[in-house]
Each structure stands twice: as structure tokens, then as C-alpha cells.
Amino acid sequence: MKFKGVKIAAVIFATVFLLFFSNDFGLIDIEKTAIITAVAIDLEQDGEYKLTAQIAVPEATDTNTENLRAQISGKGATVGAAIKNIGDTSGWFPQLCFCNLIIVGNGFSDYNLIKILDYFSKTLRIQDSALIVMAETEGAELLKLSTPLDNISSFALQKILLKNAGLNRDVAVCDVKSFCTGYYSDAGSSYMPLIKVVSQKSENEKPSAESVGGENSGGENASVAGGGSGSSGSGGESGGAKGDAIFNADTTALFLKGKKVGELDADLTLAFTALTGDFSTSTFEVKNVDLGGEKLNYLLTVFSCKASRSLSVSENGITLKVSLDAYVKISDTNERFSDLEYLKNLPLPSYVKQRAESDFTERITDLIRTEIETGCDFLDIKKELYRKHYSYYSTYKNNFIENLNYSVSVNFTGQK
């Protein structure tokens, strides 16, 4: 580099230096940023959206490492407008890049969900890998709940969803991308977990959101709740006692063209995840097996599983063959086994095998029936038809459900 070059470099560096010290560029100060961890969207009476954002408020002290949470709501005719409203009324700049959970309130049951979820799929400022769930109540209620699982309720909910996705497979997890992919596919079908709140105190005594946080300062309405022994914001919980609500996500809501058309209960959700995902490491119960008049229960763990859905198409119709082959072990039971049987790693008795197979066959059959009844192609039959039987696609694309025949085969094998 010549000295002339050095002079030019010095001038450039001086300019950059000036920028560095004066840097504002309309930057949003990190402290004025609302780190949104979850949003809940509810439909208001007037047709507008109420968007409640759960914000992580860093308030850790030396003695308490937990952070506070705050809920701020905004209203708007579109999701974007509701988010903007939060910023306008709270003074915080809503930052959605950490938002990993979107809760849709029960008010949207008859509503085309893509109208609200499209915002999250379009904008680059939010992860479209954010999970979506539908609440059995208002979406905001879920965020306001206090749970023993985590100080921040959305984190608790995510724990359930992700843990289940990783291990138990009894939740049909869905993210923005999956929902939109399903919606924009030819079948227009999608699904998401339906969240139910369960109180640990007693089944009848449901936790109330109002008991957790007040509603005051902030946007449309705002509440702050604290955890641990740390100080809490106004309207927050005192004493650091955590609530008793836990979440249940084993029911699945089904959507056709964005509208809710049905539900899969816990048994069917498990069968669905067994067929569509990796069923290994999952556990399931086989109840009330009659053995000489005694009713016995078993918990089976799946060690390996091969599930397949094959479609054969002809002029006469479509035949769906579903088969599930799994290697299972008894994890727990109230049957007394002999020491020798324990030494042999608990073989799968034929009565348990038969019962488990018939249970699962029934579940899968019900699953297919649900698809036929609701028209929601969550089993991706139309997709399969398009991809592997394209020559018949035009024939059956509008009536594949009417022409659907099916057979189910389930086979569980145990330790030999």
C-alpha cells in the first residue's frame, strides 16, 4: 500500500470512527426492546385482533436468577397493526425474533387461520419455525397463567411441546411453516395441538388467569408477573409462589382450508404421530387386559418402529394400506412376573400383544375415519396421490376421500 493509500484509508477510518461514536441510525436500544417470547391472538367482538405478547423482562438479581414476564396487548385490524399498537402504547419496540410460540385463541374456531398466520410466514422478522398451538380458552389466558414448570408460561408450554416432540410423540407439534405448507398444498389441510389447561389442585378447580396478574400500565392492557423471591412489577404475584396450572397438549385440532374441522383425541394423536413421525422411545398404555378375571394394565415402550402408508390406485378407487411394525418392551405393569421372566427381559405375553395390536388397529382405523369425516387430509393421502400416482391425480384429486378404501395392519413384537 502506498502512502497515498494510507491517507485515503485514514480518512475513511476517521469517518467510520465518527459513525461509530455517533451511531444511532435510528437504532433501537436493547433496553427499550420488548423481547417477545410468545404471542397469543384472539378475535375480538368487533372483528379486530387482540394480540397479547409475552415479554421476558430481565430482572435477575444476585439472589434470584429468574426473569420476570409481562403481558402486553395490542389491538388492530391486522396482526401487523396489533403488533404496532403494542409498540405505540407501551413505548417498547416489539422484537419478534425470539418469539417461538404462537397461541391462537378459541375464538378462531370458525375462522380461516391463514389470515393471521400468513403474517408470521411472510415477515422475516419472526422465525417461521415458531410453534403454533390453539388454546381451548382465549389465547391470552394461557400466557397469563402461572405454572410450576417455568416462571414464564410460554416457556413451560414450549417445554411440553418440544419434549414431547423429542421423546414421547404424543403431541402433534406444528410450526408456522408446516401449517402454511399444509394450507397452501392442494389438500389445504393442516393441524396443530390443542392446549388444555389442567389444574393440579383438583380437576374441578381450574386456575384463573385473573388471579395471577393484574391489568394496568402498558398498552391495551398489561400485566407483569414475577417469579422466585424477586421483586415483581405492579400487579404481579407476590411472594414468588408459582401457580398450579399445567398444560395438556395431547389433543390435536384439524384444519381444512384454514378452518377448524375436527379434533383428534389423545389416543388418535398418538396413533397419528406413530404413523407420521418416529415412534421410537414412545410409551403407550394397554389397559384392562383380562387375565383370568383380573384386569391388568401395561405400559409399553417402543424401541423401534416401522410405520408405512402405501397407496395403491386403480380405476376402481384408492386403497390405503397402513402398517405399523414395532418392537416393544413392557416398561411397567401390575402383573406379577416370575423372576425367570424378569431375567429374560420381560417377554411380551400374547394376551398383551393381541390387546395392544387390536387397540392400535382400532386407533388407526378411527384416525382414517376421522380423515374421511372431516375431509382434512392430515394423512397426506392427496399428497401421496400427486407424488406417486400422478396419472390418477386428475381423476381423484377432488374425490379421493369418497373413493378411499383402507386396510390396517399392526404388529408388535417383544423380546424373543
Partner 1 sequence: MNFTERLKDNVAAIKKRLNSDDIQYKEIKIGEKKGCIVFAADLTDKSAVGELIIRPAADFCGTPNGDNIAEYFFSPETEKEYSVIPATKKIAGGSCALLCDGVNFALLFGLKKFDKRAITEPPTSTVIKGPREGFVESLSVNTSLMRRKLISPALRFKYLSAGEFSDTKIALCYIDGIADERLVNSITEKIKKAKIDAVLDDSYVSKFLGEHKASLFKQIGNTEKPDVLAARILEGRVAVLVDGSPIALTVPYLLVEDFQSPGDYYSSSYSATFARILRLLAVIISVYLPALYVSAQLFHLQFIPLSFLLTIVNSIKGIPLSPSFEMFFTLLVFEILNEASVRMPKYVGMVVSIVGGLVLGETAVNAGIISAPALMIIALSGICLYTVPELEQTFSVLRLIFLVIGGSFGAFGIIVASGVLLTYLVSFENYRTPLLAPFSPLIVKDLKDGWYKGFTVERRLSPISLKNVNKRRIKND
Partner 2 sequence: MIKQLKTRQICFFYIAILPVIKFFMMPSVISGISGEDIWISVLINCLLDFTAIFTVYICLKDQDGDFFTLTEKLFGKAFAKTVATIYIAFFLLKTVMPLNEIKDYVEMTLYITSPNIFTFMPVFALIIFVCVHRLRVIGRLADGVLIIALIGYAFMFALAIPNTDFEALLPVGAHGANNIIRGAYISQPWFNDCAYFLFFTGEYIKGKKDGLKIFASFTLSALTVIFFCILFYGTFTSIAFRQRFALTEISKYTTVINNTERFDYLPIFALLFTAVFSLALPFYFATDLIVRFFGVKRNLAAVIISLPPAILLLFFEEYFATIETFITQTASGFFLLFGTVFPTAAAIVMKIQLVKENKIEIQRG
d(CA 52, CA 308): 41
| Residue indicated by cell numbers 425474533 | 97
Q: Helix axis angle, 266-276 relative to 350-374, nearest 10°? A: 90
- Give the whole-angstrom CA distance, residue 52 versus residue 74: 6
Residues that bind partner 2 (CB under 8 A): 12, 25-28, 33, 93, 95, 97, 100, 121-122, 124-125, 127-129, 162, 165-166, 175, 177, 180-181, 184-186, 386-388, 390
Binders of partner 1 among 31-60, rule CB under 8 A?
Answer: 31, 33, 35, 37, 56, 58-60
Strand partners, 222: 72, 216
| SS3 of residue 387 by DSSP | helix
Q: Cα separation of 129 and 387, whole Å?
A: 25
Degrees, nearest 5: CA angle 248-203-265: 35
> Which option in partner 1, partner 2, none does residue 390 bind, with CB closer than 5 to 8 A by kind?
partner 2
Q: Which of 19, 167, 241, 291 binds partner 1 (CB under 8 A)?
A: 19
Q: How far is the CB of 251 from partner 2 (least distance, A)?
A: 22
Question: Of 121, 374, 173, which is closest to residue 257 (Cα–Cα)?
Answer: 374
Distance CA 268, CA 283 (A): 14
Specify the DSSP class assigned to residue 277. S
**Which one, 159 or 196, has the nearer CB to partner 2?**
159
Nearest of 362, 365, 153, 108 to residue 253 by alpha carbon:
108
Q: How far is the CB of 240 from partner 1 (least distance, A)?
A: 18
Contacting residue, 26, 27, 110, 202, with partner 1 by CB under 8 A: 27
The item of partner 2, partner 1, none sharing an interface with residue 13, based on CB under 5 to 8 Å by kind, is partner 1
CB closer to partner 1, 8 vs 77: 8
Q: Which does 343 bind (CB under 5 to 8 A by kind): partner 2, partner 1, none?
A: none
Count of residues engaged in binding partner 1, rule: CB under 8 A: 26
Nearest-angstrom CA–CA distance, 262 and 105:
16
17 touches partner 1 (CB under 8 A): yes
For position 5 contacting partner 1 by CB under 8 A, the verdict is yes
Q: HEC states along 225-270?
A: ECCCCCCCCCCCCCCCCCCCEEEEEEEEEEEECCEEEEEECHHHHH
Q: Find the shortest distance in angstroms from Cβ 175 to partner 1.
A: 17
Q: Which one-letter amino acid corresponds to residue 368? A: I
Q: Which of 8, 11, 16, 167 binds partner 1 (CB under 8 A)?
A: 16
What does the alpha-carbon distance between residue 195 and residue 130 come to, in Å, rounded to a whole number? 16
Binding partner of 124, given partner 1, partner 2, none, CB within 5-8 angstroms per partner class: partner 2
Sole residue written with cell 395392519: 409
The entry of partner 2, partner 1, none near residue 37 (CB within 5 to 8 angstroms by kind) is partner 1
- Identity of residue 43: L
- Binding partner at 129 among partner 1, partner 2, none, C-beta below 5 to 8 Å by kind: partner 2
**CB half-sphere exposure, 124, CA atoms < 13 A:** 0
Q: DSSP readout, 319-376?
A: EEEEEEEEEEEEEEESS---HHHHHTT----HHHHHHHHHHHHHHHHHHHHHHHHH--
- Closest separation in Å from C-beta 28 to partner 1: 9
Site string for partner 1, 65-84 (x = CB under 8 A): --x-----------------
Which 8-state DSSP code applies to residue 205?
A: -
Regarding 13 and contact with partner 1 (CB under 8 A), the answer is yes
The smaller minimum CB distance to partner 2, of residues 100 and 106, is found at: 100
Q: CB 64 → partner 2: shortest distance, Å?
A: 23
1 binds, among partner 1, partner 2, none (CB under 5 to 8 A by kind): partner 1
Among 211, 202, 99, smallest CA distance to 157 is for 99
Length reported for the chain: 416
Asked whether position 342 contacts partner 1 by CB under 8 A, the answer is: no
Q: Find the part of the chain contacting partner 1 (CB under 8 A) among 94-102, 172-180, 268-276, 345-353.
A: 94-102
Tell me whether residue 17 or residue 390 sits nearer to partner 2 (CB atom): 390
At its nearest, how many Å lie between partner 2 and the CB of residue 36? 12
Q: How far is the CB of 163 from partner 1 (least distance, A)?
A: 18
Instruction: Residue 59: name its binding partner from partner 1, partner 2, none (Cβ under 5 to 8 Å by kind).
Output: partner 1
Which stretches of the chain bind partner 1, using CB under 8 A?
1-3, 5-6, 13, 16-17, 19-21, 23, 27, 30-31, 33, 35, 37, 56, 58-60, 67, 95, 97-98
